[in-house]
Structure 1
Amino acid sequence: MKRRTKVIIFIAVIAVIAATVFFLLKLRKRPEQGFAETTVITAERGNIEVKVLATGTIQPFTRVVVRSPQKGRLEKVLVDEGDRVWKGRILALVSGEDRISLLDAANSMMQEAKAAGDKEAIERAKQARQMAMKAYLPIPMTSPLRARVIKRSCQPGQNVSSNDILFVLSDRLVASVEVDETDIAKIHVDQRATITLDAFPMEKRAGKVVKISQEGRTISNVVIYDVQVNAASIPSTWSSGMTANVQFLIHDLKDVIVLPVGVVHQEGMDKMVMLAGGHPRPHKIETGATDGKMIEIKSGLSEGDSVLAMGSMGKAAGMQRSEAMRALYRMRQMSKSKGRGR
């Protein structure tokens, strides 16, 4: 029994030794993954555009409603939706109640006289109508500014009151979009932007910021600010209420030194890269704007300098793999410490 136990123990020891030898040989064939798979990336010149996207609607920059000046009846409507009007342009004519009463009475007299064939009565009805038209002129409704008629809510012959909104005017249409509070600090008046409408997705209009709201609104626990963007040219196809998408140009960097984002890592307060060469070593740099793929190198590297992208980050040309680089950095620091100790 004891002999059998010794045999089993001996076999187990042999198996462990064999597994250990196999593992060590495998490691020799495949050096540590993080350090074996590297790609050399060269700092080069390129362009970086950083944009913020916001969505909203097309709205009037200045919206003016025109009501009837008095209770009465619309005699004429002289404009329609889409018409351009100047300040002082007559939009419609309104007859007051006194004028309406006299004209209606004269018209009634005229109908009765014609039905009876009484020529004298017909003449008296004509004179009564002329006197009413001269004594009570219709009141004109005029435009208070140079604008475009974006809504008309009236027809000739319609009875109106002083509370009725008959026309809506707009001096110009703008894209009013909602910007998140995390991005609002990047937006400023006169900033360049591009406007695209869902109704016309292939048409892009250049514009600039003309107004930024100073009061935020909370929607779904997110604070947003209204920003108005004026297009350089407004086509006649635009209408109030259309969905608008605006891209704000935050950075437009041309011919700057850039690297893939993934080769730069944070070490404390510093931005670091691993310089390529016989002995890879960490190197401090100063970075600038990034578009999420490439990052601007402000100082620390020159055009043509080479850095290492470690592991899968090198294969993907920009995928973040900072763990291996931090390991190299710590090994470098340990090496320096040992050197000082000696």
Structure 2
Amino acid sequence: MKKKIFFAVLIVAAILISWQVFKKKDRSEEKKYESVRAEYGQIKEFVDTTGQIEPLNRVEILPPSSGRIEKIFTEEGAKVKAGEVLALMSSQDRVAILDSARAMGDKEYEYWKEAYKPIKIIAPISGRIILRNIVEGQTVSASTVLFAMSDTLIAVASVDESDIGKVRRGQKAEIKLDAYPENTVKGEVFQILDEG
């Protein structure tokens, strides 16, 4: 009889323990939902791609003749206005005259320095210096590119075939540069080429 009571108590205990375990499991699996009110808003779709920054209009500045760079007034990245003096250079003739005058003394040198002025290298357009290819004292030929300028920089990007249908002319664009990852530049799509 004791055995029957013992097994009955054991079975009841097993049932109670099982019921408690399954009850907790059911509560943890209970899904929790949160209700929110629907709102009208804009849905934005982004096309992510990579590209390069290039000048739209690139102007290379060459010296009028061979000579020596005397003074430079600007650096790469600087904004300049049309007509601004970028550098001074002496023609080969001026270099020869000043070198001879220097041998004759300071007074003679100062006279010829004032009488025979250096050539001004002038910015032909307003824009940004994207290349400075010279240093002071450098001898240059008439074919040496002294500076390169651009009035506008553009981002040239290749868009995947599956995304090209989402891109339209006039569409706003956000451009992130590796050099300035914390800044976003606003732009606009102005041209879509058929191949690229």
TM-score, structure 1 normalization: 0.42
2:152 counterpart residue number: 172
2:104 counterpart SS class: helix
1:209 aligns with 2:177: no
Q: 1:81 Cα deviation (Å)? A: 2.0
Q: After TM superposition, list the pairs within 5 Å mapping 1:42-191 onto structure 2.
A: 48-110=43-105, 126-127=107-108, 130-131=111-112, 133-134=114-115, 136-191=116-171
Single out whichever of 44-53 and 73-82 deviates more from structure 2.
44-53
Cα separation, partners in 2 of 1:209 and 1:73, compared to 1, 3 Å: same
Cα distance in 2 for partners of 1:143, 1:197 equals 27
Tell me if the contact between 1:99 and 1:133 (Cα under 8 Å) persists in the aligned partners: no
Q: 1:181 Cα deviation (Å)? A: 4.3
Unmatched tracts of structure 2, length 5 or more: 1-37
Cα separation, partners in 2 of 1:200 and 1:103, compared to 1, 3 Å: closer
Cα distance in 1 for partners of 2:102, 2:187 equals 57
Tell me if the contact between 2:76 and 2:129 (Cα under 8 Å) persists in the aligned partners: yes
Q: 1:166 Cα deviation (Å)? A: 1.6
Structure showing greater radius of gyration is 1
* RMSD (Å) for aligned C-alpha atoms: 2.5
Cα distance in 1 for partners of 2:67, 2:176 equals 44
Alignment size in residue pairs = 158
Tell me if the contact between 1:102 and 1:129 (Cα under 8 Å) persists in the aligned partners: no
Q: 1:202 Cα deviation (Å)? A: 3.8
Unmatched tracts of structure 1, length 5 or more: 1-43, 111-124, 217-223, 225-342
2:128 counterpart SS class: strand
Cα separation, partners in 2 of 1:89 and 1:202, compared to 1, 3 Å: closer
Moved beyond 6 Å, runs of 4+? none
Tell me if the contact between 1:74 and 1:93 (Cα under 8 Å) persists in the aligned partners: yes
Cα distance in 1 for partners of 2:178, 2:98 equals 51
Q: 1:50 Cα deviation (Å)? A: 2.8
Deviations 1:212-258 (A, max 9, x none): 335x2xxxxxxx3xxxxxxxxxxxxxxxxxxxxxxxxxxxxxxxxxx
Tell me if the contact between 1:59 and 1:174 (Cα under 8 Å) persists in the aligned partners: yes
Identical positions, percent? 39
Counting strand residues as a fraction of each chain, which structure ranks higher? 1
Cα separation, partners in 2 of 1:200 and 1:73, compared to 1, 3 Å: closer
